[in-house]
Amino acid sequence: MTQARHAWLAAAAVVPLAFVSHGAHALGTAAGTIITNTASGTFTNGATTSTVQSNTVSVRVDEVLDVTVVALNTGATQVGGSAVAVPFRITNTGNGPEAFRVTVAGALPGNQFTPTVTGLVLDTNNNKTYDPGIDQPLLAGANTAALAANATLDAFAIVTLPGGASDGQTAQLRLTAEAATGSGTPGTSFAGRGQGGGDAIVGASTALANAASPLVASSIAMAITKSASVADPYGGTKIIPGAVVTFNLAVAFTGSGSASGARITDTIPPNTTYQPGTLRLDGATLTDPADGDAGAASAAGIDVNLGTVSGGTTRQIRFDVKIN
């Protein structure tokens, strides 16, 4: 039995061991883990009981490359005159740390407009909110930092509305994440490129995933309609010296967006004189000096600051002049 026992005690071997992903969660055993196993046996020879052990076999768990991407906005993101951040979440569902190549596409089949992608920003401080100037942009062609198994990373695609897009048009914005090690059909192997020196094996996701987030164009237009009414000194409506002309400006905003910094100016016509204290906004009188309210008026003209106005709103401005 001594010879047989010596035959069992072979040198330990390390054998790569690969797993295939079957779900959206990271595999339980971390890539690079060494699993060892040694068998033992006992036998009795007469009055003597002996124990023998096999050689130890060691296997290394290979890295599985898997990823998921989800769009975080529950509804369509309104894209108007200002840049907006469209959020996505990337999850490393493999069993080892992996970096990812991330790309954004706006020119997709079925889009009624092509959103202008101005940048891709990573949630650097991990607060799940886009913070301009704090969150760092991911440069074109660069990879993310390595994500631990089952770790997530939020990414924000920064988009604007292109010229020519009409209010209410819809589009999709797609973000794609691909394992930096590589992608391919499940089971594809990248020799020696896994965690701990093992192989990297493409999992069920093909190591590449994407998600689309819906967008809707939110534009706004402004139209000004001006009218005038006349009251002469004799109770009539004749346009004669001394008659007062009331100008009315109907400022209509159409569309689903909002206008910021809306401002209306009008010069006092020649041969007329502005009538102090007659500037009104939506029926409320505004003071003539440039002070805390929205308007100012003088012999030269009127200036009314409407500020931010939503689509579907009409503002009324009125003022009087007297014909010289």
Determine how many CB atoms are found less than 10 A away from the CB of residue 18. 19
Q: Evaluate whether 80 touches 115 at the Cβ level (below 8 Å).
A: no
Instruction: Give the neighbor-by-neighbor strand order of the sheet with 189-190.
Output: 63-65, 200-202, 189-190
> pTM for this one?
0.74
Q: Evaluate whether 184 touches 207 at the Cβ level (below 8 Å).
A: yes
Determine how many CB atoms are found less than 10 A away from the CB of residue 166. 10
Q: Evaluate whether 204 touches 63 at the Cβ level (below 8 Å).
A: no
Token look-up 């100012």 returns: 296
Burial class (CB in 10 A: 0-12, 13-18, 19+), 137: middle
Give CA–CA dist 243/60, Å, rounded.
98
SS3 label, residue 264? strand
Distances (CA, A) of 20 to 116, 197, 198, 205, 290: 39, 18, 15, 10, 72
SS3 label, residue 323? strand
pLDDT of residue 27: 63
**Phi and psi dihedrals of 294, rounded to 5?**
-80, -10
Query: How many CA atoms lie less than 13 Å away from 293 in the CB half-sphere?
Result: 14
What are the chain's domains?
Answer: 2-63 (no CATH), 65-217 (2.60.40.10), 220-323 (2.60.40.740)
Using alpha carbons only, give the angle 62, 68, 74 rounded to the nearest 5 degrees.
165
pLDDT of residue 82: 87
HEC per residue, 125-143: CCCCCCCCCCCEECCCCCE
Per-residue pLDDT of the chain (324 residues; tens, 9 = 90+): 333 332 222 333 333 433 333 345 556 899 999 999 999 999 999 999 999 999 999 999 999 999 999 999 989 999 987 899 999 999 999 999 999 999 999 999 999 999 999 999 999 999 999 999 999 999 988 999 999 999 999 999 999 999 989 999 999 999 999 999 999 999 999 999 999 999 999 999 999 999 999 999 998 889 999 999 999 999 999 999 999 999 999 999 998 888 889 999 999 999 999 999 999 999 999 999 999 999 999 999 999 999 999 999 999 999 999 999
Give CA–CA dist 59/37, Å, rounded.
9
Determine how many CB atoms are found less than 10 A away from the CB of residue 299. 10
